Amino acid sequence: MNATASPIASGSIAAGEHGIPLGEATRVWARIAALSFGGPAGQIAVMHRILVEEKRWIGEERFLHALNYCMLLPGPEAQQLAIYIGWLLHKTKGGLIAGTLFVLPGFLAILALSYLYVLLGHVPLIEGLFFGLKAAVLAVVVQAVVRVGSRALKNNVMRGIAAAAFVAIFFLDAPFPLIILAAGLAGYIGGRSGAAQFKGGGGHGPSASNVIHDRDTALGEMLPAHAQPNLRWSLKICSILLALWLGPVLALFLVLGPDDIFTRIASFFSQMAVVTFGGAYAVLAYVAQEAVGTFGWLKPGEMLDGLGMAETTPGPLIMVTQFVGFLAAFRDAGPLSPLAAATCGAILTTWVTFVPCFLWIFAGAPFIERLRGNKALSSALTAITAAVVGVILNLALWFAIHTLFRRVQQLPTALGTIDVPLLASINIPASLLSAAALVAVFRFKAGVLPVLGTCAALGAAYVVLG
């Protein structure tokens, strides 16, 4: 048993009995945040390695149970897992520290890159770096389709759901929230009926080898006293978080009006925080559909540039939304200077994207035991994950069209419009670089950061040297 582990008691343990100082936990959360590259799978693996294997603060069973709950929620499951474990160890203060530190390094890094992008984006070196990043990002998204698909599409029913989701979003312009709602409903009904095809499994969890049990960790097997359901505390914290989240949205609506860029940013990303199940790549499909196609805040190529920023900085990939809000406000600054408006847009986007994550955890975590073993909810998540594969495939195809071809036209159909590339406008250098990135990822199993870095360097060399 780990030296810091407290004896196992019956019932629950008092807060602080596990012997983990809040200061030490804060330093550990800062370390996790600085190492959180590579998307949710990599971020969850980092947390598991440090919190379970190295520190032995919590065990395998508790870690996976918390992860399963976070996967049921909209938003970035890795950050929500950090909030959950921080709350479990050090109550509300611990959750706030863990969740904030998880986002802060990525926010600062992307803000700095966004300044660089708008101020020096037309400098050949910078232009070349982002040219290379686009090609690499395409390979990373294709890899995500394969990785999630291999885990989620275990039978023909799941494959059918994925295919239906792809058709709905690519050919019919169906809203992402509607696709997720339909898939979740189908999964819930399938789970209630007992159909074997809807049984869940998988996820981003660690392997089952060398399991560290809860009883052998600092927290032990029992729940801390503060983790027991408390309706009064839940209502209080939820009221505060709701006010912090929706208060600014309402104030912007009343003061600036519904058509102001800041009101639209706050409203759109607040809506996104409620409906974006399925991980960062599914969210990107929704953001690209709305921010590029509906609002016209940025161009398809710029969306790829933003994803490149998020892939190369620590923190959740959903931080790409900060770049979207930055550019939207930069181009519609009103009475402010463009940079001041863009900074406000980035802060506002980050605020309304991540404050709800604290709300979901603090509201639901004390009642998490009621979700354990709920087959209908597990089946709903399974169906949503399958639909997400179709959504990410749409994103990969959308990125490919706008990366590999210089000109794209919208072809009207009876039910919507589809993007069709002009074959004569193929971008040969981008195609070659994307092909090389795909070979590196799938043939040689190269990591995300080396592929991104190499492609960025090659892109810069190509543009600078002409």
**3-state SS, one letter per residue, for 113-165:** HHHHHHHHCCCHHHHHHHHHHHHHHHHHHHHHHHHHHHHHCCCHHHHHHHHHH
DSSP reduced 3-state for 207: coil
Dist. CA 107–CA 314, nearest whole Å:
9
Dist. CA 98–CA 85, nearest whole Å:
8
Nearest to 135 by CA among 462, 432, 377: 432
CB 138 within 8 A of CB 433: no
Which contacts qualify for 189-194: CB closer than 8 Å, 24 or more apart?
190/157, 190/379, 190/383, 191/375, 191/376, 191/377, 191/378, 191/379, 191/380, 191/382, 192/375, 192/376, 192/379
Helices 176-193 & 261-275, crossing angle to 10 degrees? 20
The pTM (predicted TM-score) of the whole model is 0.75
DSSP reduced 3-state for 56: coil
CB 224 within 8 A of CB 13: yes
DSSP reduced 3-state for 240: helix
CA 68 to chain centre: 15
Q: Which tokens in the block code for residue 464?
A: 């600078």
Alpha helices (runs of H) in 298-374, residue ranges in sequence order: 300-311, 320-330, 338-364
- CB half-sphere exposure, 297, CA atoms < 13 A: 27
**pLDDT (tens place) for every residue of the chain, 466 residues total:** 343 333 333 344 554 567 889 999 999 999 999 887 656 766 887 888 899 888 999 988 788 778 767 877 888 888 999 999 999 999 899 999 999 999 999 999 999 999 999 998 778 888 888 888 888 878 887 887 887 788 778 899 999 999 999 999 888 888 777 888 899 899 999 988 888 888 765 444 444 446 788 788 888 777 777 777 788 888 999 999 999 999 999 999 999 999 999 999 999 999 988 877 666 666 777 788 889 888 999 988 888 888 888 877 888 888 889 999 999 999 999 999 999 999 999 999 999 999 999 999 999 888 765 555 577 877 887 888 788 788 888 878 887 888 899 898 888 877 767 888 999 999 999 999 999 999 998 999 888 778 888 998 999 999 888 7
- Give 345: exposed, middle or buried? Use CB within 10 Å, 0-12, 13-18, 19+: buried
Rg (CA), the chain: 22
Q: Tell me the Ramachandran region of residue 10: left when phi exceeds 0, alpha when psi lies from -120 to 50, beta otherwise.
A: beta
Q: Which tokens in the block code for residue 144?
A: 């995500």
Return the biggest CA–CA distance within the chain: 72
CB 368 within 8 A of CB 83: no
